[in-house]
Protein backbone atom coordinates (compact mmCIF):
# COMPACT_ATOMS: atom_id res chain seq x y z
CA UNK A 1 0.00 0.00 0.00
CA UNK A 2 1.48 3.36 -0.98
CA UNK A 3 -0.23 5.23 1.83
CA UNK A 4 -2.38 3.82 4.60
CA UNK A 5 -5.71 2.87 3.10
CA UNK A 6 -9.06 3.47 4.65
CA UNK A 7 -9.43 7.03 5.81
CA UNK A 8 -12.63 7.06 7.88
CA UNK A 9 -15.76 8.14 6.04
CA UNK A 10 -17.04 6.91 2.71
CA UNK A 11 -14.32 5.59 0.43
CA UNK A 12 -14.46 4.42 -3.17
CA UNK A 13 -12.39 1.45 -4.27
CA UNK A 14 -11.56 0.94 -7.91
CA UNK A 15 -10.44 -2.50 -9.07
CA UNK A 16 -7.80 -2.45 -11.80
CA UNK A 17 -6.39 -5.39 -13.69
CA UNK A 18 -2.90 -5.45 -15.16
CA UNK A 19 -3.47 -7.02 -18.55
CA UNK A 20 -1.92 -7.31 -22.02
CA UNK A 21 -3.44 -4.52 -24.08
CA UNK A 22 -1.94 -5.74 -27.34
CA UNK A 23 -1.60 -9.53 -27.23
CA UNK A 24 0.02 -10.88 -30.35
CA UNK A 25 -2.39 -13.60 -31.42
CA UNK A 26 -1.57 -15.91 -34.29
CA UNK A 27 -4.62 -15.84 -36.51
CA UNK A 28 -4.20 -19.42 -37.57
CA UNK A 29 -3.11 -21.27 -34.45
CA UNK A 30 -4.42 -18.87 -31.82
CA UNK A 31 -1.01 -19.02 -30.09
CA UNK A 32 -0.65 -15.89 -27.98
CA UNK A 33 2.57 -14.02 -27.35
CA UNK A 34 2.72 -11.47 -24.53
CA UNK A 35 5.08 -8.50 -24.21
CA UNK A 36 5.01 -6.89 -20.75
CA UNK A 37 5.71 -3.50 -22.26
CA UNK A 38 2.19 -3.48 -23.65
CA UNK A 39 0.50 -4.38 -20.38
CA UNK A 40 -1.68 -1.84 -18.61
CA UNK A 41 -5.31 -1.11 -17.77
CA UNK A 42 -8.10 -1.84 -20.23
CA UNK A 43 -10.32 0.96 -21.50
CA UNK A 44 -13.07 -0.34 -19.20
CA UNK A 45 -10.83 -0.19 -16.11
CA UNK A 46 -9.64 3.28 -17.12
CA UNK A 47 -13.26 4.39 -17.43
CA UNK A 48 -14.00 2.90 -13.99
CA UNK A 49 -11.07 4.82 -12.51
CA UNK A 50 -12.15 8.09 -14.13
CA UNK A 51 -15.75 7.65 -12.95
CA UNK A 52 -14.51 6.79 -9.45
CA UNK A 53 -12.39 9.95 -9.37
CA UNK A 54 -15.31 12.08 -10.57
CA UNK A 55 -17.66 10.60 -7.98
CA UNK A 56 -14.94 11.07 -5.34
CA UNK A 57 -14.43 14.70 -6.32
CA UNK A 58 -18.17 15.34 -6.28
CA UNK A 59 -18.67 14.03 -2.73
CA UNK A 60 -15.20 14.52 -1.26
CA UNK A 61 -14.59 10.77 -0.97
CA UNK A 62 -11.09 9.34 -1.40
CA UNK A 63 -10.43 6.72 -4.05
CA UNK A 64 -8.34 3.64 -3.26
CA UNK A 65 -6.99 1.59 -6.17
CA UNK A 66 -6.88 -2.18 -5.71
CA UNK A 67 -5.50 -4.89 -7.93
CA UNK A 68 -5.18 -8.65 -7.66
CA UNK A 69 -2.17 -9.81 -9.61
CA UNK A 70 1.59 -10.30 -9.70
CA UNK A 71 4.19 -7.71 -8.68
CA UNK A 72 4.18 -6.18 -12.18
CA UNK A 73 0.59 -5.07 -11.54
CA UNK A 74 2.02 -2.37 -9.27
CA UNK A 75 2.50 -0.38 -12.49
CA UNK A 76 -1.25 0.18 -12.94
CA UNK A 77 -1.60 1.07 -9.26
CA UNK A 78 1.15 3.69 -9.56
CA UNK A 79 -0.61 5.12 -12.61
CA UNK A 80 -3.78 5.33 -10.52
CA UNK A 81 -1.91 7.11 -7.73
CA UNK A 82 -0.56 9.58 -10.31
CA UNK A 83 -4.03 10.52 -11.54
CA UNK A 84 -5.38 11.03 -8.03
CA UNK A 85 -6.03 7.78 -6.13
CA UNK A 86 -5.09 8.37 -2.50
CA UNK A 87 -3.85 4.85 -1.78
CA UNK A 88 -3.19 1.56 -3.54
CA UNK A 89 -3.40 -2.07 -2.46
CA UNK A 90 -2.25 -5.14 -4.37
CA UNK A 91 -3.14 -8.67 -3.45
CA UNK A 92 -0.51 -11.06 -4.66
CA UNK A 93 -1.94 -13.75 -6.94
CA UNK A 94 -0.62 -15.11 -10.17
CA UNK A 95 -1.51 -13.56 -13.51
CA UNK A 96 -4.37 -15.32 -15.30
CA UNK A 97 -6.13 -16.44 -12.11
CA UNK A 98 -9.76 -17.46 -12.56
CA UNK A 99 -12.56 -15.03 -11.75
CA UNK A 100 -13.54 -16.45 -8.36
CA UNK A 101 -9.93 -16.45 -7.21
CA UNK A 102 -9.44 -12.85 -8.37
CA UNK A 103 -12.67 -11.77 -6.71
CA UNK A 104 -11.70 -13.44 -3.43
CA UNK A 105 -8.33 -11.69 -3.58
CA UNK A 106 -9.95 -8.33 -4.32
CA UNK A 107 -12.32 -8.91 -1.44
CA UNK A 108 -9.33 -9.39 0.90
CA UNK A 109 -8.08 -5.97 -0.20
CA UNK A 110 -11.50 -4.36 0.13
CA UNK A 111 -11.83 -5.75 3.65
CA UNK A 112 -8.90 -3.54 4.73
CA UNK A 113 -10.64 -0.32 3.64
CA UNK A 114 -12.63 1.46 6.35
CA UNK A 115 -15.86 3.08 5.26
CA UNK A 116 -15.97 1.34 1.91
CA UNK A 117 -18.98 2.73 0.06
CA UNK A 118 -18.54 1.93 -3.63
CA UNK A 119 -16.48 -0.50 -5.70
CA UNK A 120 -15.92 0.54 -9.33
CA UNK A 121 -14.70 -2.00 -11.90
CA UNK A 122 -14.37 -2.33 -15.65
CA UNK A 123 -17.17 -4.50 -17.05
CA UNK A 124 -14.89 -7.25 -18.30
CA UNK A 125 -11.18 -7.74 -18.61
CA UNK A 126 -9.32 -7.95 -21.85
CA UNK A 127 -7.88 -11.42 -21.37
CA UNK A 128 -10.40 -13.93 -19.98
CA UNK A 129 -13.14 -11.39 -20.07
CA UNK A 130 -16.13 -13.30 -18.69
CA UNK A 131 -17.30 -10.15 -16.88
CA UNK A 132 -17.96 -12.16 -13.74
CA UNK A 133 -15.45 -10.59 -11.32
CA UNK A 134 -17.64 -7.57 -10.40
CA UNK A 135 -20.54 -9.93 -9.72
CA UNK A 136 -18.40 -12.23 -7.56
CA UNK A 137 -17.09 -9.19 -5.65
CA UNK A 138 -20.67 -8.01 -5.05
CA UNK A 139 -21.54 -11.49 -3.80
CA UNK A 140 -18.56 -11.48 -1.40
CA UNK A 141 -19.64 -8.12 -0.03
CA UNK A 142 -23.32 -8.98 -0.04
CA UNK A 143 -23.97 -5.74 -1.95
CA UNK A 144 -26.14 -4.80 -4.87
CA UNK A 145 -24.50 -4.56 -8.24
CA UNK A 146 -25.02 -2.32 -11.23
CA UNK A 147 -23.20 -3.89 -14.16
CA UNK A 148 -22.47 -2.65 -17.68
CA UNK A 149 -22.83 1.06 -16.90
CA UNK A 150 -22.47 3.59 -19.69
CA UNK A 151 -22.89 6.83 -17.77
CA UNK A 152 -22.99 8.54 -14.39
CA UNK A 153 -25.04 11.61 -13.59
CA UNK A 154 -23.66 13.52 -10.63
CA UNK A 155 -25.63 16.70 -11.18
CA UNK A 156 -28.76 15.73 -9.31
CA UNK A 157 -29.50 16.37 -5.63
CA UNK A 158 -26.45 14.93 -3.93
CA UNK A 159 -27.47 15.46 -0.34
CA UNK A 160 -26.61 12.01 0.95
CA UNK A 161 -24.11 10.98 -1.69
CA UNK A 162 -26.76 9.63 -4.04
CA UNK A 163 -26.44 9.77 -7.79
CA UNK A 164 -27.81 8.05 -10.85
CA UNK A 165 -26.19 5.76 -13.37
CA UNK A 166 -27.31 4.52 -16.75
CA UNK A 167 -26.83 0.97 -17.84
CA UNK A 168 -27.18 -0.78 -21.12
CA UNK A 169 -29.74 -3.56 -21.42
CA UNK A 170 -30.21 -6.01 -24.22
CA UNK A 171 -31.72 -4.78 -27.49
CA UNK A 172 -30.40 -1.27 -27.06
CA UNK A 173 -32.54 -0.39 -24.06
CA UNK A 174 -31.20 1.78 -21.25
CA UNK A 175 -32.05 1.75 -17.57
CA UNK A 176 -31.37 4.51 -15.05
CA UNK A 177 -30.55 3.44 -11.50
CA UNK A 178 -30.28 5.52 -8.37
CA UNK A 179 -27.34 4.58 -6.14
CA UNK A 180 -27.70 5.77 -2.58
CA UNK A 181 -25.70 3.25 -0.64
CA UNK A 182 -22.97 0.62 -0.93
CA UNK A 183 -22.82 -0.93 -4.40
CA UNK A 184 -20.53 -2.53 -6.93
CA UNK A 185 -20.53 -0.65 -10.24
CA UNK A 186 -18.98 -1.92 -13.43
CA UNK A 187 -18.39 0.37 -16.40
CA UNK A 188 -18.10 -0.19 -20.11
CA UNK A 189 -14.90 0.86 -21.79
CA UNK A 190 -14.89 4.22 -23.52
CA UNK A 191 -17.55 5.73 -21.26
CA UNK A 192 -15.04 8.15 -19.74
CA UNK A 193 -11.59 9.20 -20.88
CA UNK A 194 -9.05 8.83 -18.09
CA UNK A 195 -7.49 12.18 -17.21
CA UNK A 196 -3.77 12.76 -17.78
CA UNK A 197 -1.61 12.66 -14.70
CA UNK A 198 0.11 15.92 -13.75
CA UNK A 199 3.88 15.79 -14.23
CA UNK A 200 4.73 16.24 -10.55
CA UNK A 201 2.41 13.38 -9.62
CA UNK A 202 4.00 11.10 -12.22
CA UNK A 203 7.43 11.85 -10.79
CA UNK A 204 6.24 11.46 -7.20
CA UNK A 205 4.51 8.12 -7.67
CA UNK A 206 6.79 6.39 -10.17
CA UNK A 207 8.65 4.54 -7.41
CA UNK A 208 5.83 4.42 -4.83
CA UNK A 209 6.27 1.28 -2.75
CA UNK A 210 3.18 -0.91 -2.77
CA UNK A 211 3.37 -3.55 -0.06
CA UNK A 212 1.39 -6.54 -1.29
CA UNK A 213 -1.12 -8.49 0.75
CA UNK A 214 -0.74 -12.26 0.59
CA UNK A 215 -3.36 -13.68 -1.76
CA UNK A 216 -5.96 -16.27 -0.74
CA UNK A 217 -5.48 -19.86 -1.93
CA UNK A 218 -7.10 -20.68 -5.24
CA UNK A 219 -10.59 -22.06 -4.55
CA UNK A 220 -10.97 -25.76 -5.19
CA UNK A 221 -13.82 -26.56 -7.54
CA UNK A 222 -15.55 -29.59 -8.93
CA UNK A 223 -15.74 -27.53 -12.07
CA UNK A 224 -12.54 -27.32 -14.12
CA UNK A 225 -11.68 -25.94 -17.52
CA UNK A 226 -10.73 -28.96 -19.64
CA UNK A 227 -10.43 -27.22 -22.97
CA UNK A 228 -10.07 -23.65 -24.03
CA UNK A 229 -10.34 -22.41 -27.61
CA UNK A 230 -7.75 -20.07 -29.07
CA UNK A 231 -7.70 -16.44 -28.02
CA UNK A 232 -9.24 -13.99 -30.40
CA UNK A 233 -8.47 -10.29 -30.50
CA UNK A 234 -11.24 -8.28 -28.86
CA UNK A 235 -13.21 -5.74 -30.80
CA UNK A 236 -12.45 -2.15 -29.87
CA UNK A 237 -14.88 -0.69 -27.39
CA UNK A 238 -16.55 2.57 -28.34
CA UNK A 239 -18.66 4.80 -26.15
CA UNK A 240 -22.33 4.22 -26.86
CA UNK A 241 -23.82 7.17 -28.69
CA UNK A 242 -26.55 9.23 -27.08
CA UNK A 243 -29.78 7.26 -27.58
CA UNK A 244 -31.73 10.43 -28.25
CA UNK A 245 -29.76 11.07 -31.44
CA UNK A 246 -31.04 10.15 -34.88
CA UNK A 247 -29.65 6.95 -36.44
CA UNK A 248 -27.47 9.02 -38.78
CA UNK A 249 -26.07 11.03 -35.90
CA UNK A 250 -25.42 7.84 -33.94
CA UNK A 251 -23.45 6.41 -36.85
CA UNK A 252 -21.45 9.62 -37.05
CA UNK A 253 -20.75 9.45 -33.33
CA UNK A 254 -19.65 5.81 -33.57
CA UNK A 255 -17.34 6.48 -36.49
CA UNK A 256 -15.80 9.41 -34.67
CA UNK A 257 -16.96 12.02 -37.13
CA UNK A 258 -18.32 15.22 -35.58
CA UNK A 259 -17.55 13.99 -32.07
CA UNK A 260 -15.56 16.01 -29.57
CA UNK A 261 -13.53 17.73 -32.23
CA UNK A 262 -13.78 20.25 -34.96
CA UNK A 263 -16.12 18.77 -37.55
CA UNK A 264 -14.28 17.56 -40.63
CA UNK A 265 -14.69 19.79 -43.64
CA UNK A 266 -14.70 18.70 -47.23
CA UNK A 267 -13.38 21.34 -49.53
CA UNK A 268 -12.95 21.22 -53.27
CA UNK A 269 -10.23 23.60 -54.37
CA UNK A 270 -7.01 24.07 -56.26
CA UNK A 271 -3.85 22.55 -54.76
CA UNK A 272 -2.49 26.01 -53.83
CA UNK A 273 -5.63 26.88 -51.89
CA UNK A 274 -5.66 23.44 -50.30
CA UNK A 275 -2.11 24.01 -49.06
CA UNK A 276 -3.14 27.39 -47.63
CA UNK A 277 -6.09 25.82 -45.83
CA UNK A 278 -3.90 23.12 -44.33
CA UNK A 279 -1.36 25.71 -43.19
CA UNK A 280 -4.12 27.86 -41.67
CA UNK A 281 -5.44 24.87 -39.76
CA UNK A 282 -1.97 23.89 -38.51
CA UNK A 283 -1.48 27.50 -37.41
CA UNK A 284 -4.82 27.45 -35.61
CA UNK A 285 -3.76 24.31 -33.74
CA UNK A 286 -0.46 25.91 -32.80
CA UNK A 287 1.81 23.75 -34.95
CA UNK A 288 3.11 26.73 -36.93
CA UNK A 289 3.90 30.30 -35.96
Partner 1 sequence: MSKPDRPQGAPAGTKRIPTPTEPDVDVIVVGAGPAGAAAALVLARAGRSVYLLERGPFPGSKNMYGGVIYGRILDTLIPRWWEEAPVQRWVTRRATMVMTPTQALTIDYRTAAWGEAPYNGATAFRPDFDAWLADHAVAAGATLVPSTTAVGLLRGDRGQIVGVQTDRPDGDLTARLVIACDGVNSFLAKEAGLYHHPEAEHFTLGAKEVLALPRDEIEKRFGLRGLEGADFEIIGCTPGIAGGGFIYTNLESVAVGVVLSLEDLKRSGKRPEELIAGLKAHPAVAPLVEGAELTEYSAHLIPEAGLHMMPELYGPGMLVAGDAGAFCLAAGIWLEGVNFAIGSGKVAGEVAVQALRAGDTSATFLGRYQDALTDTFALADHIKLQGAPALVMSDNVQRRYPELVCSLVESLFTVTNPTPKKGALRLAREAAKGSGVRLRDLARDGWAALRSYG
Q: Give the footprint of partner 1 on this chain (CB under 8 A).
A: 37, 193, 195-200, 202-203, 206, 260, 285-287, 289
Comparing CA positions, the residue from 285, 288, 183, 190 lying closest to residue 234 is: 190
Alpha helices in the chain (DSSP H): 43-59, 74-83, 99-110, 133-141, 199-205, 247-255, 271-285
Nearer to partner 1, 133 or 197 (CB): 197
- Cα of 78 vs its chain's centroid, Å: 15
Degrees (nearest 5) of the Cα angle 109, 110, 116? 150
Nearer to partner 1, 51 or 128 (CB): 51
Minimum distance between the CB of residue 287 and partner 1, rounded to whole angstroms?
6
Nearer to partner 1, 195 or 234 (CB): 195
Nearer to partner 1, 170 or 207 (CB): 207
Q: How far apart are CA 283 and CA 209, in angstroms?
A: 44
DSSP 243-283: TTS-HHHHHHHHHTTTSSSPPP------HHHHHHHHHHHHH
Minimum distance between the CB of residue 190 and partner 1, rounded to whole angstroms?
15
Minimum distance between the CB of residue 269 and partner 1, rounded to whole angstroms?
19
Minimum distance between the CB of residue 103 and partner 1, rounded to whole angstroms?
29
Minimum distance between the CB of residue 195 and partner 1, rounded to whole angstroms?
5
Nearer to partner 1, 135 or 259 (CB): 259
Amino acid sequence: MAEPAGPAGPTIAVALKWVDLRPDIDRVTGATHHDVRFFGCSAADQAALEHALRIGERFGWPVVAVSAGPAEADAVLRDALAVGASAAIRVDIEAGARSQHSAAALHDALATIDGLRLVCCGDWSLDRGSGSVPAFVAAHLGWGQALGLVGVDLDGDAGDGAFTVTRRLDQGRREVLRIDGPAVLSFEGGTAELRRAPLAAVLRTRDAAIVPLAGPPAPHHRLRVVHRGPDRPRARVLPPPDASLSPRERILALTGALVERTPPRTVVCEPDDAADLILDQLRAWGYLD
